[in-house]
Chain A
Amino acid sequence: MPSRTPETRATSLFMRYAILVLVALIFVFPLVFMLVSSLKPSMQLLSDTSSIRAFLPVGDISLDNYTASFARAPVALFIFNSIFVTSVTVVLNLVICSMAGFSFAFLDWKGKDVMLSIVIATLIVPLETIAIPLLLVVNNLPWIGADGIEWGWLNSYRVQIVPFLSDALTVFLFVQYFRDLPRDLIEAARIDGASWFQIYAKVIMPISGPVIATAAILRFLAMYNQYLWPLMVTQSEQYRPVMVGLQYFFQLNTDWGQVMAYLSMITVPVLAFYLALQRAFITSIASTGIKG
C-alpha cells in the first residue's frame, strides 16, 4: 500500500462523510417531507412539491390536517389496535421462536434436522400464497368466549395475532445465534444442575440480547405494516390496524395534507420502538461481554 499523506487522509475522510451525509439525507428527506406537508393545506402542499419549499415549513402552517384526520377516522383506535396486536405478537413470537431455536440448537431429538429444513423451507412461501386457505381455516376455528363456544375467528384481535406467533425467519435467526454460543456454557449449567428450561431462561436468553433485538425489530416492522391479512379478516372498524385505516383517506377526494398527518402519526410508534431497541441493542452487546 502506498504511504498516505495527511492530505489524502483528510480527503478520504471528507469523502466518507460526504457519502454518509448523502445517504442519510436520502433516508431523511421523505420523512421531513411527510412531516412538513402534514402541516400544510392540500393546495399549497401540491404546489410546493416542485421546489425546495416542499421540505420547509413555510406558508400556511397549521395543525388543521391533524384535527381533520381525527374527524375522518378513529385514528387513536387504529393506532391502539396496531400497537396492541403488534406488541402481543412480537413478545409471544420471540418467546416461542427462541424456544424453538433453543431446541433445534441444543436438544437432541429424532428428526430434528428434517424438521429444521422444513421450517426453513417455509421461508420461501409468501403470506399472499396462503392467505385464502388461511382465511378458510380461521373462519372455522372454535374459540371459548364469554358465552360458550363460538365458531370463526373473523373480526377479532386473535385472528391478527395467532397466525403470526411463530415464523421461520425468527426461528432461523435464533438457531444461528445459539449455534455460535459456546457449548461449554450449556454443559457447565447442566453440571450445575440446571434443567433445560432453566438453561434457556437463566443462561441463554440473558446473553441473547443482540439476536432478540434484531428479531424484535424485524417482527415489529412486519407486524405493524400488516395490510393484506387484517384487510381480509377485519370487516368491522373496531379491530382494524393503522394500515387498513389508511384507506379512510383515499375515498372520493384524497386530501394529501390529511394523509400526511395520518402517516406522521402512525410513524411515531415505529420510530419510538426502533430508537428504544437500538439503545437496548447496543447496551446488551456491551454488557454481556460476548465480544471478549
Chain B
Amino acid sequence: MASLSMKSVRKSYGAVEVIKGVDLDIADGEFVVVVGPSGCGKSPLLRMVAGLEEITAGTMEIGGRVVNDLEPKDRGIAMVFQSYALYPHKTVYDNMAFGLHIAKAPKAEVDAKVKKAAEILKLEPYLDRLPKQLSGGQRQRVAIGRAIVRNPEVFLFDEPLSNLDAALRVNTRAEIAKLHRDLGATMIYVTHDQVEAMTLADKIVVLEGGYAQQIGTPMELYHTPANLFVAGFIGSPKMNYIEVTVAEVSADGVKVAAPDIGEALLPIDPDKAAVGDRATLGIRPEDMRHGKTDGITVSGRVELVERLGHETLVEITTTNGLDLKGIIDGTTLISLGDTTDLSFAAASCHLFDSAGKALTRREVPEVVRARRGT
C-alpha cells in the first residue's frame, strides 16, 4: 500500500507540452479519478505514473520513494488498459500468471494467486480459454485479474470501461468500487465519463490545458467549482451562465445586475469583488424551478421540452437572447412557444470573476463535507 505524490510534473512530446505542471498528493488507499476532455493528457499523466512514459520534469514519488527513473515493474504498480491488452496466444490463466512466471515465482504460489484472483472476479470457469473466446466484460475482468495478481501498491486504470456496453459498464463500475473496498489499495482511474468520476472517486482531478484545474471530492467539485471550466465540466446538463455586472458590494454579499434578472443579492464573499466588475453568474439547471417563487426569476419563450418522466428538461430564450436550461418537475404542463418563468434561489448561484475564477460561496450544502459512503 502506498501514497503517491507528484511535484510540478511536466510532459512534453518534442516541442509540444502536454502536461504543464501538475501537483497531486494521493493518500494511501485513496481512489483518485482523473477526468478531462479528450486530448487533455490524462493518459500521458497515468503513463508517467506507470513508467511507460518518461517524466519530462518534476518528481514522482510512490510510497515515499522517487520513481522517476525506475522501470515500470519496479514501481509497485499494475495497469488496466482500455484495450485490455491481453496476450492473445495465452490462456486466461497464463495471462494472469505471466508476470509471476517472469518473476520466477514458485509454481504453488502462482497457482494460489491466480486462483484467488479468478475467484474474486468469478473467472474460474474460463481459466483455460483464450481471450478471443471471451466476451468483452470477461476480457475486462481478466485484465483486472492480471493487475490483482501482481499485488500492486497502486492500481492504474485507463478508461477501463469505455469498450463495454452501458449495462455492463454499470456492473463493472460497481465491481471496481467493491474491489477498492476489499483490497484497500490506492487506485488512479482515468476517464472522461463524469458519472464514473462522481461515483467512484474519493478525490477527482479535473485536468485541462495541461493543468489540474481543481482537485477535490466529487461534492466539492459539484458545489464549489473553482472556475468556469470545472463548473461547466461537472454536471449534466451544463451549468447556465448569465453575464452580470457587480452593482453593489456589502457585508451581506454581492449584488449583481443584468437585464434579464434585474438586481439580485447573492450570498457570495465580497472581498474579491468591486462595483462595476463584469462577472458570470452560474446556475445549474437542476436548481431551477418552474414559475415565480421567491428568488430570482427569468422569463422567456420555451424553445425545447424534453420529458423524461420523473423530470422535464426545458430551455427558454429571453427577449435579450439569453438561453437558459432548467430541469423541472415531470408533471409540469408546459409546451413549446409558451412564455414561462423559471426561477432560482440566490443561494444556489455561483459567481465567477472576469478571469473565470470562482468567488467563494457562503451558503454551501452540508453534503460537501460528506466523505464517500456517508
A and B from one assembly? yes
In the complex, chain A residues whose CB is within 8 Å of the CB of B52 = 187, 190-191
Residues 174-232 of B contacting A (Cβ, < 8 Å)? none
Residues 133-175 of A contacting B (Cβ, < 8 Å)? none
Cβ of A206 within 8 Å of any chain B Cβ, yes or no, is yes
* Chain B 131-150 interface 0/1 with A at a Cβ cutoff of 8 Å (1 = within): 11000000000000010001
Choose among A182, A187, A193, A287 the residue that contacts B99 (Cβ–Cβ < 8 A): A193
Cβ–Cβ contact B81 & A193, under 8 A: no
Cβ–Cβ contact A185 & B99, under 8 A: no
Cβ–Cβ contact B81 & A184, under 8 A: yes
Cβ of A288 within 8 Å of any chain B Cβ, yes or no, is yes
Q: How far is the CA of A198 from the CA of B130 in the complex (A)?
A: 20
Cβ of B88 within 8 Å of any chain A Cβ, yes or no, is yes
Choose among A189, A191, A206, A292 the residue that contacts B89 (Cβ–Cβ < 8 A): A206
Q: How far is the CB of B132 from chain A (nearest CB, A)?
A: 3
Q: How far is the CA of A289 from the CA of B99 in the complex (A)?
A: 21
Q: How far is the CA of A10 from the CA of B82 in the complex (A)?
A: 46
In the complex, chain B residues whose CB is within 8 Å of the CB of A207 = 87-89
A-B CB contacts (within 8 Å), total count: 70
* Chain A 251-288 interface 0/1 with B at a Cβ cutoff of 8 Å (1 = within): 00000000000000000000000000000000000011
In the complex, chain B residues whose CB is within 8 Å of the CB of A192 = 73, 98-99, 102, 146, 150
Q: How far is the CA of A289 from the CA of B90 in the complex (A)?
A: 10
- Interface size grouping (class) on chain B: 20 to 34
Cβ of B83 within 8 Å of any chain A Cβ, yes or no, is yes
Cβ–Cβ contact B132 & A292, under 8 A: yes
Choose among B51, B85, B102, B132 the residue that contacts A184 (Cβ–Cβ < 8 A): B85
Cβ of B21 within 8 Å of any chain A Cβ, yes or no, is no
Specify which of B47, B50, B87 lies most central, judged by the most chain A CB atoms within 10 Å of its CB.
B87
Cβ of A88 within 8 Å of any chain B Cβ, yes or no, is no
Choose among B78, B83, B131 the residue that contacts A182 (Cβ–Cβ < 8 A): B83
Q: How far is the CB of B188 from chain A (nearest CB, A)?
A: 14
Cβ–Cβ contact A203 & B87, under 8 A: yes
In the complex, chain B residues whose CB is within 8 Å of the CB of A190 = 51-52, 71-73
Cβ of A218 within 8 Å of any chain B Cβ, yes or no, is no
Cβ of A105 within 8 Å of any chain B Cβ, yes or no, is no
Choose among B86, B102, B146 the residue that contacts A193 (Cβ–Cβ < 8 A): B102
In the complex, chain B residues whose CB is within 8 Å of the CB of A188 = 79, 81, 85-87, 146
In the complex, chain A residues whose CB is within 8 Å of the CB of B130 = 287, 289
Q: How far is the CA of A183 from the CA of B324 in the complex (A)?
A: 45
Cβ of A194 within 8 Å of any chain B Cβ, yes or no, is yes
Q: How far is the CA of A187 from the CA of B130 in the complex (A)?
A: 20
Evaluate whether A187 and B102 lie within 8 angstroms (CB atoms) in the complex, with A192-B73, A292-B132 already known: no
Cβ of A71 within 8 Å of any chain B Cβ, yes or no, is no
In the complex, chain A residues whose CB is within 8 Å of the CB of B47 = 187
Cβ–Cβ contact A184 & B83, under 8 A: yes
Per DSSP, chain A at the interface is helix
Cβ–Cβ contact A191 & B83, under 8 A: no
Cβ of B103 within 8 Å of any chain A Cβ, yes or no, is yes
* Chain A 198-224 interface 0/1 with B at a Cβ cutoff of 8 Å (1 = within): 100011001100000000000000000
Cβ–Cβ contact A289 & B88, under 8 A: yes
Choose among B81, B131, B146, B150 the residue that contacts A187 (Cβ–Cβ < 8 A): B81
Cβ of B77 within 8 Å of any chain A Cβ, yes or no, is yes
Cβ–Cβ contact B132 & A191, under 8 A: no
Cβ–Cβ contact B81 & A288, under 8 A: no
Cβ–Cβ contact B98 & A189, under 8 A: yes
Evaluate whether A289 and B132 lie within 8 angstroms (CB atoms) in the complex, with A198-B102, A203-B87 already known: yes
Q: How far is the CA of A161 from the CA of B150 in the complex (A)?
A: 45
Q: How far is the CB of B190 from chain A (nearest CB, A)?
A: 14
Q: How far is the CA of A193 from the CA of B87 in the complex (A)?
A: 14
Chain B residue at minimal CB-CB distance from A287: B89
Q: How far is the CB of A292 from chain B (nearest CB, A)?
A: 6
In the complex, chain B residues whose CB is within 8 Å of the CB of A292 = 132
Cβ of A26 within 8 Å of any chain B Cβ, yes or no, is no
In the complex, chain B residues whose CB is within 8 Å of the CB of A182 = 83, 85
Q: How far is the CA of A288 from the CA of B130 in the complex (A)?
A: 9
Q: How far is the CA of A207 from the CA of B167 in the complex (A)?
A: 33
Choose among B83, B85, B102, B131 the residue that contacts A194 (Cβ–Cβ < 8 A): B102
Cβ of A114 within 8 Å of any chain B Cβ, yes or no, is no
Cβ of A290 within 8 Å of any chain B Cβ, yes or no, is yes
Q: How far is the CB of A232 from chain B (nearest CB, A)?
A: 43
Chain A residue at minimal CB-CB distance from B90: A206
Q: How far is the CB of B326 from chain A (nearest CB, A)?
A: 44
Chain B residue at minimal CB-CB distance from A292: B132
Chain B residue at minimal CB-CB distance from A187: B52
Q: How far is the CA of A128 from the CA of B78 in the complex (A)?
A: 54
Q: How far is the CB of A156 from chain B (nearest CB, A)?
A: 39
Q: How far is the CA of A188 from the CA of B146 in the complex (A)?
A: 10
Specify which of A182, A192, A287, A288 lies most central, judged by the most chain B CB atoms within 10 Å of its CB.
A192
Chain B residue at minimal CB-CB distance from A206: B89
Q: How far is the CB of A198 from chain B (nearest CB, A)?
A: 6
Q: How far is the CB of B23 from chain A (nearest CB, A)?
A: 25
In the complex, chain A residues whose CB is within 8 Å of the CB of B72 = 187, 190-191, 193
| Interface pairs (21), CB distance under 8 Å | A184-B83, A187-B79, A187-B85, A188-B79, A188-B87, A190-B52, A190-B71, A190-B72, A191-B73, A191-B99, A192-B73, A192-B102, A194-B98, A198-B102, A207-B87, A207-B89, A287-B89, A288-B89, A289-B131, A289-B132, A290-B88
Interchain residue pairs A-B with the least CB separation, the first 9: A289-B132, A193-B73, A192-B99, A184-B85, A188-B85, A206-B89, A289-B88, A191-B72, A184-B81
- Using a CB–CB cutoff of 8 Å, the interface residues on chain B facing chain A are 47, 50-52, 71-73, 77-79, 81-89, 98-99, 102-103, 130-132, 146, 150
- Using a CB–CB cutoff of 8 Å, the interface residues on chain A facing chain B are 182, 184-185, 187-194, 198, 202-203, 206-207, 287-290, 292
**New A-B contacts (7) at CB < 8 Å, excluding given A191-B99, A193-B99, A207-B87:** A184-B81, A184-B85, A191-B73, A287-B130, A289-B130, A289-B131, A292-B132
